[in-house]
Structure 1
Amino acid sequence: MTDDLPSWEPRWKRRYNSPPDDLIRDFYVPAFARSRNYDRAVGFFSAGLLAAVAPSLDRFVLNGGMMRLITSPAHLGDEELEAMGKGEDLKSHIKEGLRRAIMQPIPSPVLADRLKLLTWMVATGRLDVRIALREHTHSYALFHEKIGVFSDHDGNWMTFTGSPNETIGGARLHSESFPLHRSWVNEEQREYAHEERDRFEQLWGERVDGIALWRVNDWIENPMRSSFGIREPSATGTLAEIDQPSSPIAPVLDEASLVPALPDDLKLHEYQQDAVNNWLRADGRGVFAMATGTGKTITALTAATQASVHSAHANQPLLVLVIVPLVDLVEQWRREAERFGFRPAVCHGTLSTKQREHLKAVFSAARSSQGRRAEMVITTAGSLTPRGEAIADSEHFVQRQLARHRGRMMVIGDEMHSLGTQPRLDALPSKPTFTLGLSATPKRHGDDEGTQALLGYFGDPVVSISIKQAIYQHNALVPYDYLPHPIELTDDEAKRYRQISQRIAAAFARKDEQAAEAQIRARTRLTQHAAGKHNRLHQLMASGLKDQTHQIIYVAEGKDPETDFPALERTEKMLREEFGMRVERYYGETDRIRREVLQDRLASGDIHALLAMKCLDEGVDIPSARIGVITASTQNPRQFVQRRGRLLRRDPRNPKSHAVIHDFIVMPPRPAGEPSDSEKRLIGAELSRAVELAEAARNREALLTIIEWAYEYGLRPADQPWMNMAEGDDMEEWV
């Protein structure tokens, strides 16, 4: 237990304060892992704390660990104790209270597993529990002393005294503090540690006048067996949490390369390590709701590595199924997974005979009844989802293979919001062993039912990192300037907007949803192709933006409803012919190899800008991009949040200090009087996006401009929900 530990292990501190210290991670877990004896006198005790230090507790017992616990009966108060006096009724009341506490429902599988181990420890005498009370002449009162002693095999020990109770709340939720005294540091520390250890021994030996003890193992063993079951300690019984970022998190089990391990050069951020540990504590279920650019892929692969090693220790193969929304992400995942030692098989589009045979072999290996190996299949959501009911078997290749799988499986849903439609939900494997959802925008826009279905499948969020935390707290993304540009509808466009809005209202009134949806699409097309956008883009380029490189310019999909000319072609023609810019299209029809070439050309400065519609919305890494011009966007938070994320990624090859986002905000003409309801809805929807983007920008004064615009259109910002978000309540996050 000395401080002479490998560099990746935590060094003991003289004092622990929570916050900022995480008492479980920074103190309890390493202390249990290195100790042979743990003695604790405490006011209140909860098995929840031992659940939180799960991996270390198994190691503690396997190392010959013994626990002695002195605690008060948590279900009694001083007034009740005084009323009951000192007779047999008190003992019966304590015994019955312990039994009732043991019979309470168990809130999680992790805690259930821990309680089985505690039952074994009680049954074998490895955990000796005694109830203590302060004795008075005619009654008892609660015992509130707090002493902890960890001892190792080499005769070293350390003690702590002070505020934390032995509960999950005391260790993680409350503000707690205690000094730590180590016997091996110096004579002064040894004297403190000696006094505190002696105090515990006096209490345990019933040598302190005024303190009464009851031995309760015989009272609690049978109720624990009945309620929890029992299991012996095991090095493979639980998902192992990770240590410090540079530690050997998942060592290779043997000379074979069939089980992944963390790359030697991998350095996890603390928030990534916490995300994985939270997922492990949740028994391998949950969602990483992490802002774009915070390393969701790497964090997920770390979790998959832990699950693979856990399964290998149990001598059972693990199939890891990764589902992504786009083909580009298949290749991105494949490259990263290979760094960890996975051997991914990819599946998308039309499969060749050779690809089918390879996939069959992978699925077959994962179906083995035993073996230390992890297999990975990376597929797209479209390839996983049948396209109809009457489909030939050859088109259900992946589903047929999954239906035959009976072993352990981990399902990773990248950009999980894309899986929330009913056909895609139906296509997900049923009852996987582990699930992990990833998204910066896990809420499905306007689809609470789909969002809840995804939650039910993948589990609740185990981490949530907002864009502001990613930029200013974790330094994972670069800061940015937000420059909103008002784009007024022409009089004709405003007139058509009002007419379409009236048709939408009429369609809803007669409950004709199909007609309403058609008119909504027409209105969206009108605002996406507003004439002022093209003119404003021309002005921006003429003012100097034409000379800047590393740009992404988002343009509207489809054709202008007035000219019937595609916006992409019109924009490309203007930039090339009028400004002499080197620009290239980057859209759905661009093949993978061509996209990689274009990304390299943008990074080198060989081209000024990529012209994109939607294919750069999700997950694709282009860290070299520094300037974004959003000429067309929806009010769907997922889209503009993802687009922002494309620009904020750090570029290790060519570091950037910040990014710049130009956002075109569509507005009706400035009203002479009271604006119509449809005009208020338009400006409200556009400004909600602007507020979200301005909130996290380094030039937050842009919010003042947006507020001014709201007043000009008769909107009181204080009445708008998007102007009343609590700190950290970003639109894209699960809160």
Structure 2
Amino acid sequence: MPSRTFYVKPFNNDILKRLMAFSRFLGETGEGAQFVIDLERARTNGVRMEEIRRVLGELGVSLDTETLEQLEHEMPEYDVLFELKDENLVLNPRVRISDILRKYRINIPYDSVSKVYRTRPFYYYILKKILEDEGLRVKKLDLQFERFSMGLNVELRSYQVEAIKAWKNNGFRGVIALPTGAGKTLIGIEGMSEVGSSTLVVTFTNEQLKQWAENIIKYTNGTPEVGLYYSKKKELAPITITTYQTAIRHMAELSRFNLLIIDEAHHLPAEKFREIALSCIAPYRMALSATPYRSDGKHVELFRLMGGLVYQRGIEELVAQGYLAKFKIVRIKTPLTTEERAQYDMLMKKFRSLSNGRPILEVVKKAREGDGRALEAMRVYSKLRYLVGLTKAKLSKIIEIIEKEKGKKVIIFSQYVDHAETISKILGARLLTGQMSKRERELVLEEFKSGKSGVLVLTTVGDEGLDIPDASIGIIVTGTSSKRQYVQRLGRLLRNNSGGKVAILYELIAQGTSEEYQSKKRRSLSLEDAFYSWEER
């Protein structure tokens, strides 16, 4: 029968100290000092089987073969084992690692029942490196990423090549900031080609998801299988494309990819969306955005999760080099009718009374806290904005501009669905709102893209990700003070510079109303600055 008891003779304090790292002292007998091997103590002290063999050998202690085999079986080959379970990274330590974690100021929840640590897959590579640097034997995750071979069939622009180079030099990680229309999707596709293995692309809308799939097929040779993972369709493939909303509900299935590409990445730092980056094991990461910086400071979290800002170019520079269309902005102030002015003044008086003269942001804060007067003030404020969103003069001016720009593609931006419906009905124009089904939106976009001219009326559903290369005229009927929204809307018109196109953005502003302030605020920075700074509303 195997025995873990052994005797040492002669015996002194130095020998005791060495043996106590992996055994317990039972006392002295006629055969010498008696010890018994304690594997739990050995694990706690980080003592491995080879060290036990070495110390015993130096002291002239021999254990029988059966005992040694049993010890080898119970003493694992690894000090720490990693596992992926659901959306968590599990660390199963066979030796004490708490001192190492404290050394690096790492605080990971410990499950005292299962005796494991649980954290997010995002931290796998840094934890593995730290533990290996500390001399521990780490059993790595079995991550067999599917390989593929693909290449672009178009030539990248010089700044796109620079962006890829900067990303690669940063360890295939980082945020790339380029204006809307500058071809960020092509940069993402080239990133896939460079990595050449399983890739997860996360888009903000279903329309963007489909655009990515179409562009991957259109602009590559040797394209691997592309899977769409959204709505009722759940296709996992070497290149899988999903949306933010789908990803946050299915990260257990979407965590094992080698490359993570986040489109419209300024959304990622939102509390629920950041879980996408934390739950994905991907060592290689690319974030794409026209407006990565946020006034709430959360862009710092974006940079932490995706690898820092590695490349950025501004709109004016790309326009000057001919990559984006030249543009001009025409601001038109439209008067209120006598009736509209009376209604506006009445609502404004009521708002000032309810808000006690406080700034709107302070009123918003109070309303979120449940303050009754603030809540009523916000309801009045919404009526104010709705009133000036589509006045009679604005409607007349829209008709005038459409007649002037006949034969061109025109996009009209509105904040309100019923305003958009009214404009669409009067002009006989196509309509795109978030209340329409996905199929209806797809048909509208296909029809508008295929036509040589036409008018498309949009609500905020079109503020991001809409790809209409030859639209050259935009009309902002209603907007906010958000620089991000303003920049995105202008960007809808700049995507294609073929034929020396000059884009025009008309901005309609109700004169003598809060719209004048909002217009001034959203253009208070230069366009160059606005592309890298946005205010979340």
Q: 1:535 to 1:411 in 2, by over 3 A?
A: same
Matched residue, 2:503: 659
- The Cα of 1:656 is off from its aligned counterpart by 5.3
Matched residue SS, 2:304: helix
- Residue identity over aligned pairs, in percent, reads 23
Q: Mark the runs of 5 or more structure 1 residues left unpaired by the alignment.
A: 1-226, 230-256, 309-317, 363-374, 387-397, 559-565, 577-582, 670-678, 697-727
1:461 to 306, 309, 316: 309
Q: Note if 1:324 corresponds to 2:213.
A: no
Task: Please tell me whether the aligned partners of residues 527 and 666 of structure 1 are also in contact (alpha carbons under 8 angstroms).
Answer: no
Superposition map of 1:302-701 within 5 A: 302-308=190-196, 318-338=197-217, 339-340=219-220, 341-351=223-233, 355=234, 358-359=235-236, 362=237, 375-386=238-249, 398-402=250-254, 405=256, 409-428=258-277, 429-444=279-294, 446-448=295-297, 450-473=298-321, 475-488=322-335, 490-504=341-355, 508=362, 511-513=366-368, 514-515=370-371, 516=374, 519-520=377-378, 522-530=380-388, 533-542=391-400, 544-545=403-404, 547-558=406-417, 566-576=418-428, 583-592=429-438, 594-603=440-449, 605=451, 608-650=454-496, 655=499, 657-668=501-512, 683-690=516-523
Check if 1:262 corresponds to 2:125. no
CA drift at 1:319? 2.7
Whole-angstrom distance in 2 between the partners of 1:619 and 1:472: 24
1:535 corresponds to which letter in structure 2?
A
Give the CA deviation at 1:574.
2.3
Deviation at 1:608, TM superposition (A): 2.5
Give 3-state SS (helix, strand or coil) of 1:615's partner.
helix
Contact 2:202 2:262 in 1 (8 A): yes
Deviation for aligned residue 1:534: 3.9
Check whether the contact 2:330–2:504 (CA below 8 A) recurs between aligned residues.
yes
Structure 1 residue 427: Cα displacement:
3.4
Displacement of 1:520 in angstroms is: 4.1
Match of 2:185 among 266, 272, 297: 297
Q: Distance in 1 between matches of 2:167 and 2:189?
A: 12
1:419 CA displacement: 2.2
Q: Supply the distance in 1 between the matched residues of 2:312 and 2:407 (Cα, whole angstroms).
A: 35
Cα offset for 1:333?
0.7
What does 1:128-277 align with in structure 2 at a 5 Å threshold?
259-263=148-152, 265-277=153-165
In the aligned structure 2, how far is the partner of 1:380 from the partner of 1:628?
A: 27
Contact 1:288 1:438 in 2 (8 A): yes
Contact 1:552 1:628 in 2 (8 A): yes
Post-superposition offset of 1:337: 2.2
The aligned amino acid for 1:574 is I
Q: Secondary structure at the match of 1:625?
A: coil
Shift of 1:528: 4.4
Deviations 1:553-575 (A, max 9, x none): 112314xxxxxxx2122222322
Gap change, CA 1:439 and 1:350, over 3 Å in 2: same
State the AA in 1 paired with 2:303: L
- Does the Cα contact within 8 Å between 1:334 and 1:378 map onto a contact in 2? yes
Q: For each residue in 1:584-615, what CA deviation from the matched residue of structure 2 results, as whole angstroms up to 9, or x when unmatched?
A: 11222445554454345434546620111012
Q: Deviations over 1:633-663 (max 9, x none)?
A: 11112211111111111165xx452111110
Instruction: Determine if contact 1:488/1:532 at 8 Å carries over to the other structure.
Output: no
CA contact (8 A) 1:409 1:432 kept: yes
- 8 Å CA contact 2:302–2:308 kept in 1: the answer is no
Q: What is the aligned-residue RMSD (CA, Å)?
A: 3.1
Measure how far apart 1:295 and its partner are.
Answer: 0.6
Contact 2:481 2:522 in 1 (8 A): yes
* Amino acid aligned to 1:503: L
Provide TM-score, normalisation by structure 2.
Answer: 0.63
CA distance in 2, matches of 1:299, 1:456: 21
Correspondence for 2:168 among 263, 280, 283: 280
1:626, distance to aligned residue in structure 2 (A): 1.3
Q: Could you tell me the TM-score, scaled by structure 1's length? A: 0.47
Long gaps (5+) in structure 2: 1-132, 136-145
Give the drift of 1:527: 2.3
Q: Residue type of the partner of 1:271?
A: Y
Residue 505 of structure 1, CA deviation: 5.1
Match of 2:128 in 1: none
CA distance in 2, matches of 1:322, 1:553: 30
Moved more, 493-502 or 620-629: 493-502
Identify if the C-alpha distance between structure 1 residues 511 and 556 changes in structure 2 by more than 3 Å, giving closer, same or farther.
Answer: closer
Cα distance, 1:666–1:300 mapped onto 2, change above 3 Å: same
Letter aligned with residue 291 of structure 1? P
Instruction: State whether residues 484 and 530 of structure 2, in contact with CA within 8 Å, keep that contact through their aligned partners in structure 1.
Output: no
SS at match of 1:421: coil
Query: How many angstroms does 1:501 deviate by?
Result: 4.5
Counterpart of 1:412 in 2: which secondary structure? strand
